[in-house]
Amino acid sequence: MDESKDGERRDAGAPYPRSPIMLLRVPRPPVLLPSRPIFLRSPRRLVSSLVATAYDNHTTLHPESHSAVTSVLRFFNSVTEDGAQIPMYRVLDGEGKVFEDAEIPEVDETLARKMYENMVQLPIIDNLLYNVQRQGKISFYMTSYGEEAALIGSAAALEPDDEVLGQYRELGVLLYRGFTYDSIMNQVFGTHLDDSNQGKQMPVHFGSRKFHFHTISSPLATQIPQAAGVGYALKRDPIRGGRNCAVVYFGDGAASEGDFHAGMMLASTVPSPTLFFARNNGFAISTPSSEQYHGDGIASRGPGYGVHTLRVDGNDVLAVYAAVKEARRLCLRDGRAVLIEAMTYRVGHHSTSDDSFAYRPRHEVEERKRLDNPISRFRLFLEARGWWDAEEEKALLERLKDDVLKAFRRAEAEPKPELQKMFEEVYGGEEPWTITENRAELKRLLQKYGKVWEPWRSALKDFKGAGKALLEEGPTAK
């Protein structure tokens, strides 16, 4: 502490005061006062001069603040001027009619039909795989019931080579880009034909280098800060910079994780063309949105990070398409992040490990399905324009069901990968000693039990080669 000439004490390294009252305690600010003592008849005149200089144009002294100064003591809890919630952008109402004076995005008949067919195929796949999991044929599954418009509308607005980092329910994005039914079925069965990850991941954890879809990870929200890094890498790429963006999908539960804020902070302070697409479907497994936040949803967080933000009706495929199209344009124009909150509803259970009727009434789900079905809403729009009819609907459903079932049967008959594949393509370069030991241990057990113990003989039949390739590797274990 230093003692000033007038007897007051202050910190030696303290900055110059930030309020007019504190200015009175500064003995001689070198910028504002002359170097030699002066005597004034009115000290108040000097103080008034200092205050006027410090607060010129009614702004604060903070170097990054452009806030106006006010004498009114008032707290706020909204990002809108009138204190209302952020509005939700919509194009179609619940009956498929154009909402009020909404402008329809540039979607021709060909594109509209493709979007609709992709929306319809999702529940067909979901119905089949949910039921076969219940029969024990696959270990796990997650549906996209009720969120078809959010997935397909956003996928249609992106370029095929934009980098996508999904969460759990983004199968529709992959399908729109050309991911086949065979690829889906081989992944959920974990067959040797699984081109996502060779059977190393649990079902619905898709990935595709060909379709620029990064492999899904189970831990919640980890893909969000990763996406900010992907966006920054794209920005610095001499070929793809200004041409492609990173798009990260996540739910309201993931937005409650710290990684959401880390990703938003990174993408805003180290600016990158990263599109944050939040699917607010009302539940983080059993936790409703009302217990996850008490502010105005996820969209209200965007302005705090200085990013363009929009809330959109996630059950309106045309609104989602227009929103993502414009968000992508802003990402590339400014090289900065954009946040979209798509308001939808999770009609299905969280996963096959969940029974959502334990925490929400069945009639609530049925009511939502009846009143706000994204597929029905878009079909009514297409029919009103003469782009779809009942005969086409019947033919489409029959064809899709047949194609999906055939792919399922093909994958069901395929064996799982060769046993040694579990040790391959996990680490780059030299194999870690732990993997070497695990491989040797499995080989030893195969030699001991593979031919003599029925449980092993039966299980090995499910794998391509029945473990022979592993047994033939290197010297025989003792």
The pLDDT tens digits for 196-249 are 889 999 999 999 999 999 999 999 999 999 999 999 999 999 999 999 999 999
Signed CA dihedral, 312, 313, 315, 318: sign only: negative
Q: What pLDDT is stored for residue 428 in this prediction?
A: 84
> Token pair of 181, please?
């039914």
Question: What is the C-alpha to C-alpha distance for residues 288 and 293, in angstroms, rounded to an integer?
Answer: 9
**Which residues are CB-neighbours of 191 under 8 A, at least 6 positions away?**
199, 411, 414, 415, 416, 417
Q: What pLDDT is stored for residue 53 in this prediction?
A: 53
Amino acid found at 252: D
Q: What is the CA radius of gyration of the chain?
A: 30
Q: Where are the domains of the chain?
A: 109-413, 419-472
**Is 58 a residue whose pLDDT tops 70?**
no
Check residues 342 and 44 and name the one with the higher pLDDT: 342
Question: What is the C-alpha to C-alpha distance for residues 170 and 457, in angstroms, rounded to an integer?
Answer: 38
Mean pLDDT, residues 254-270: 98
pLDDT tier for residue 19 given thresholds of 50, 70 and 90: very low
pLDDT tier for residue 259 given thresholds of 50, 70 and 90: very high
Q: What pLDDT is stored for residue 80 in this prediction?
A: 84
Cα distances (angstroms) measured from residue 8 to each of 2, 3, 34, 47: 8, 6, 21, 18
Amino acid found at 422: M
Concatenated DSSP letters for 222-281?
THHHHHHHHHHHHHH-TTTTTT--EEEEEETTGGGSHHHHHHHHHHHHTT--EEEEEEE-
pLDDT tier for residue 64 given thresholds of 50, 70 and 90: low
Signed CA dihedral, 317, 323, 329, 334: sign only: negative
**What are the φ and ψ backbone dihedral angles of 465, each rounded to 5 degrees?**
80, -10
Q: Per-residue pLDDT tens for 75-107?
A: 888 888 888 899 999 999 999 999 988 999 999
Place of tokens 């909204």: 78
3-state SS, residue 89: strand
Beta strand segments in 9-106, E: 9-10
Q: What pLDDT is stored for residue 48 in this prediction?
A: 57
3-state SS, residue 279: strand
Mean pLDDT, residues 144-158: 98
Q: What is the mean pLDDT of the chain?
A: 89
Does residue 331 contact residue 245 with C-beta atoms inside 8 Å?
yes
CATH class for the region spanning 109-413 = alpha beta
> H or E segment at 42?
none
**Is 425 a residue whose pLDDT tops 90?**
no
